[in-house]
A and B are shown apart, each in its own frame.
Chain A
Amino acid sequence: MGGELKACEPWKAQLGVYLDGELTGEEMRAFDAHVRSCPSCAADALAQVQMKRAVQVAGRRFTPSEALRQKIQRTVAVRSSRRTLSWQWAMGLALAGLLLGTALSLSYFGKSHSNDEAMQSEMADLHVAALASSAPVDVVSTDRHTVKPWFQGKIPFTFNLPELQNSDFSLLGGRVTYMEQSPGAHLIYQVRKHFISVLIFQERPGQERDRNGARVKSPAKAYSFNTETWSQDGLRYFVIGDTGEDDIHRLAELLKNAART
């Protein structure tokens, strides 16, 4: 009897894999034959199936609210229609370009315009999502010497943060964020009653830079927010908030100066 159980040990060790349907066809057939002829393994198989079912029932436990479903459905639908409109607009531009005999240049313009718009839209989403979250920052600190090291090991790059002693900006903290699956730093600053997001990602191939390595864009509006974005030393910076253009620009300049040090 003891010998039989010992002989069954290799089968029992594979029982879970067998019941998960993860053995190959030949292994599965061999296992089927063994279980039919071995009462001990058959009993264990039955017990494990019951356990799987129990976990399955117990695991289906939490139901989302209808409000959340509608909220996400709306977001998905709005973004999809926004993308469709953007695509139609780009196609319109390309067609006009063809008619005017400048198809190549106009199609390039349409593409870069749509890329910028998509990027600004993403920035706005990240900013709003962070502020709407119950925990906007994961490292809560006004000290740049605390916030910066917190990101070490969490994102694949480092960055400098400005000294804010003589300014009306204050640092609230930071969190790791993602843009198109690339990890980056999301810092939240406050100026008076306004919150400003600073998002830093690694620059991607294809983003053009000027001779000094800095690609500075004039302040722009993104879905009612003021924004400023530039590339510096291989990093892409985004500053976005509901405060005035001047505040956004002043914080951008502080960040640029800090990055140079």
Chain B
Amino acid sequence: MYVREARPQTGSFEDLAMPLFDQLYNFAHWLTHDRVEAEDLVQETYAKALRGFSSFAPGTNFRAWMYRILRNTFLTTRTGLKATSTVPLDTDDEGPELAVTPETPETILLERANQQLVREALEELPPPFREILLLCEVEEMSYQEIGEALSIPLGTVMSRLSRARADLRKRLLPKLARG
């Protein structure tokens, strides 16, 4: 079981922001699918965050704030606009949680060889599902942090996460069957 807690942070911009560099880049690359674009995105994020640091409220969650800037910046780029315009929004976000399907393929995911298949399935996910899974599983953010980073309410975090997991499982099944 994972227990995560968002810790309020204080310190200089450099002290708070530089430890996030690797994970912000990883997230940016997943969003853009391109090294050059990811580098531009991370640079712009740091420049904006530095300029806006005076508006950051000390003691609140700095990591969620940085991710929100990165994501908002991404959404204004050519790739971001294309991604949001081609993927239908999950309009029934507030719907009920989905129960786990009985034929989950997780039990055969332990082998490292299957990591490539998981990556492929992650790549195929619609951007809103991919980003929320990355924030939850890779960054181990709390639901509250995810809500702050994506600017969505807590109920939407839960339902979107549930749908993202269901979608990932659905995409993995045929891949694993093919071996």
Contacts and interface: CB of A to CB of B under 8 A. Distances in A.
B40 A133 contact: yes
B136 interface: yes
Interface in B21-76: 21-22, 25-26, 29-30, 35-40, 42-44, 46-48, 50-52, 54-55, 69, 72-73, 76
Interface residues of A, number: 56
A58 B107 contact: no
A14 B158 CA distance: 10
Interface in A46-61: 46-48, 50-52, 54-61
Given A50-B110, A63-B25, A180-B51, A55 B97 contact: no
Contacts of B76: 138, 154, 175-177
Given A54-B118, A75-B46, A76-B14, A69 B21 contact: yes
Contacts of A57: 115, 118
A75 B50 contact: yes
Interface in A25-70: 44, 46-48, 50-52, 54-65, 68-69
B77 to A, nearest CB: 7
B98 interface: yes
Residue among A22, A69, A73 with the highest chain B CB neighbour number at 10 A? A22
A52 B137 contact: yes
B134 A59 contact: yes
A75 B50 CA distance: 9
A135 interface: yes
Contacts of A13: 96-99
B138 A17 contact: no
Q: Is the interface of A mostly helix, strand, loop or mixed?
A: helix
29 contacts: A9-B99, A13-B99, A16-B162, A20-B2, A20-B161, A21-B1, A46-B107, A47-B107, A48-B165, A50-B109, A52-B2, A55-B168, A56-B138, A58-B122, A60-B26, A62-B35, A64-B25, A65-B39, A71-B43, A72-B18, A72-B46, A75-B50, A133-B40, A134-B37, A134-B40, A135-B77, A176-B76, A178-B52, A181-B55
Given A59-B122, A62-B35, A175-B76, 15 more contacts: A13-B96, A20-B136, A22-B142, A47-B100, A57-B115, A60-B26, A61-B119, A125-B47, A129-B43, A129-B47, A133-B40, A134-B36, A135-B77, A138-B78, A180-B55
Interface of A: 9, 12-22, 44, 46-48, 50-52, 54-65, 68-69, 71-73, 75-77, 79-80, 122, 125, 129, 133-135, 138, 154, 175-181
Closest 7 CB pairs between A and B?
Answer: A59-B138, A62-B29, A47-B106, A21-B3, A64-B25, A58-B118, A51-B106
